[in-house]
Chains A and B, each alone.
Chain A
Amino acid sequence: MAGGGDTGGAGRIASENTPGTWAPLRGWLLAPSWLVIGVFLLAPVGMMLVYSFLTKEFRGGVIWELSLAAYDQFIFDRGLFGDEPPQLEWTYITIFGRSIAQAAAATVLCFLIGFPTAFFIATRPVHTRSAWLFLVTVPYWVNLLIRTVSMKFLIRDNGPLNEFLLWTGAISEPLALVNTNLAVQLGLFYSYLPFMVLPIYASVERYDFTLSEAAADLYADRWTTLRLVLIPAVIPGIVAGCILVFVPSLGAFLAPDLLGGAKNFMIGSLIEEQFKGNAGNWPFGAAASMILLSMVLVALLYYARQQIRGERAG
């Protein structure tokens, strides 16, 4: 009996089961955050929803008259004066489609580079691991605008990348990368790569490598082990990484704006255009934002369901 540790006592954390020192003040402690986020984010999103059903005022703003025009304009073309029979309007659907495709491609690209990187870092000796991780995360903390401008500087027609490639003889004339979908892709990939690495790293670090050894013992080669044992075990990290890359890519503004130019518009630029400049159409911008937000929420709900399922599975 003696010597057998009692687990009940000091290991007990107040947060788990006692009324606790702070529980009576809980409401007061949480109130400031609720208030600030509720008033300055939740309420604005609600107001944005309302605005998307109002009538546009030329040169910005709205007229307080209910209207479905914003959503209608999104899908149908009714001619310049709105009196022609409706035809499917492809402009905006195309922009949304392009955004989804770009975001998906960026996600795949980030995964292809990010997974081996995360895996490599997670299998370093403990004392070097955090230095590697630091190296990967530093660029994320550098201003996104500066990073995007840097990327543009690097890949422009007579920029260092082209000069380097010409010098090596890999190409005979400069690649025209700027203002292409590829440049946007590169920008998105560059912007959000750390978001893929971090969650995958976290789950690989928790992975029990004796499972891999067991697989090897049962005649699986490395790649079979990776496919059948390791990846299924780290799926939650992969899903988290994909969501974290996909969501901001979908609504990205800087990469498409600076690297893509007018031909390669994505949702972000479309929305921005409605609130800046003279072509402003606030209800339409609000509607586009609502559609974007809904798509993001769907992705997040899918993610939450995955997480819950993962927790249930242990």
Chain B
Amino acid sequence: MVGAAPVRHKSTGAHPGAEVTAGHDVRRYPGFLPVTILCLIVLYAPLIVVMVYSFNDSPSITIWGGFSLRWYEDVFFGLEAGKFKDAAWNSLSIAAMAATASTVIATSAAVGMVRGGAFRGKSASFALLSLPIMVPEIVTAVATLIFFSAIGFTLGFASILVAHVVFCIPFAYLPISARLQGIEGVYEEAARDLYASRAEAFRHVLLPLMAPGILSGFLLAFIISLDDFIITNFVKGAGVETLPTAIFGAVKQGIKPNIMALSTLMLAVSVVFVTVSWLVGRSGTKPGG
């Protein structure tokens, strides 16, 4: 009876004969692979098409006129080059500053949340930290604009920077706190036991162990800042443009090949950043690993 059981199951199961071949692998569902491939095509097709057409020699975006780098040249030296350069400088400097500030704030918050023990208002504090992700971007944009105008703050570089710091905090916070949760508290205790003050325990033990999390938090915050259009568009005021607002302004008049070249450049920057962040996260999943 015992020996016969599996045979019986296979031959007289719900679908006789259907599953006799090979092992019944409960992880395999027919059709899931094609859907996954479809998913990847949908995700990548638009990007690849734009990348390809950015190398199009023809000024028309519909006709393929052979390979050329002329639109890249146009981005750097063409009529709009100055505008793009200013926008790129604004974007990068705002991203660098906002990512730095939000990473410092998020690191401090992560130590307080993860290492602060149980305290009243912990969930409220967590909710506050995640608020910038929860509130729809357009609402954040409106609220920030109203706030700045109500307190009479002139819109411009500074207002963009402040807004970016706020919405970058949760993105920096998540990888940093995840990393910190994986570090046993006993290392700080060992440092304290060996005569380290709090500051020294942080500087010599906790900070180096948290470093991979802090780095990926910084990189994510940087990308998120570079990515933002809606909030920037509301609080930028007149005259200050970032790359996304400049591109948005340009595509309102139709997609031109130089915009595709610019997009491809930005895309490449994002991909490099994410890859680095991914590799860093992977190499440092375990403290000491």
Contacts and interface: CB of A to CB of B under 8 A. Distances in A.
Interface of A: 10-23, 25-30, 32-34, 36-38, 40-45, 47-48, 51, 61, 113-114, 116-117, 119-121, 123, 130, 134-139, 141-147, 149-154, 156, 158-160, 189-190, 193-194, 197, 209, 212-213, 215-217, 219-222, 225-226, 247-248, 250-251, 253-254, 258, 267-268, 271-272, 275, 282, 285-286, 289, 292-293, 296-297, 300
B201 interface: yes
A149 B255 contact: yes
Contact of A153 (B49, B147, B169): B49
Contact of B198 (A21, A41, A136, A150): A21
Q: Is the interface of A mostly helix, strand, loop or mixed?
A: helix
Given A15-B185, A145-B229, A250-B136, 5 more contacts: A47-B146, A141-B270, A258-B251, A267-B138, A272-B233
Contact of B138 (A21, A217, A222, A272): A272
Contact of A117 (B36, B229, B233): B36
B145 interface: yes
Nearest to B6: A217
B189 A190 contact: no
B149 A153 contact: no
Contacts of A226: 29
Interface string B11-25: 001110010000010
Q: Which 10 A-B pairs have the closest CB atoms?
A: A14-B185, A251-B136, A29-B112, A44-B147, A212-B26, A150-B46, A44-B143, A26-B116, A116-B35, A33-B109
A134 B107 CA distance: 25
A135 B173 CA distance: 23
B137 A30 contact: no
A149 B109 contact: no
B146 A216 contact: no
21 contacts: A10-B186, A13-B184, A13-B185, A14-B115, A14-B185, A14-B189, A18-B185, A33-B173, A40-B144, A47-B143, A47-B146, A117-B39, A143-B244, A143-B267, A153-B49, A153-B61, A154-B45, A254-B229, A275-B234, A286-B146, A289-B138
Interface in B173-209: 173, 181, 184-186, 188-189, 192, 198, 201
B274 interface: yes
B137 A253 contact: yes
B109 A289 contact: no
B106 interface: yes
A300 B127 CA distance: 11
B244 A139 contact: no
A147 B45 CA distance: 10
A138 B271 contact: yes
Interface stretch (B71-79, B158-166, B210-218): B158-166
Contacts of B165: 36, 40
Contact of B247 (A13, A138, A145, A213): A145
B207 to A, nearest CB: 13
Contacts of A197: 39
Contacts of B13: 219
B81 interface: no
B69 interface: no
A107 to B, nearest CB: 15
Contacts of B192: 21
B288 interface: no
B131 interface: yes
B90 interface: no
B26 A209 contact: yes
A14 B146 CA distance: 43
Contacts of A14: 115, 184-186, 188-189
B142 A120 contact: no
A40 B53 contact: no
B53 to A, nearest CB: 7
B226 A21 contact: no
B142 to A, nearest CB: 5
A219 B42 contact: no
A146 B247 contact: yes
Given A23-B115, A152-B255, A190-B43, A38 B128 contact: yes
A102 to B, nearest CB: 14
Contacts of B185: 12-16, 18, 20-21
Contacts of B273: 141
A193 B43 contact: yes
A61 B50 CA distance: 40
A305 B134 CA distance: 16
B251 A33 contact: no
B235 to A, nearest CB: 10
Contact of B116 (A29, A44, A135, A225): A29
Contact of B267 (A43, A135, A137, A146): A146
A119 B32 CA distance: 8
Contacts of B247: 145-146, 149
B244 to A, nearest CB: 5
A52 B252 CA distance: 30
Given A14-B115, A153-B255, A139 B163 contact: no
Given A142-B267, A209-B27, A32 B108 contact: yes
Contact of B259 (A21, A37, A139, A149): A149
A26 B117 contact: yes
Contacts of A258: 251
A41 B166 contact: yes
Contacts of A47: 143, 146-147, 150
B270 A142 contact: yes
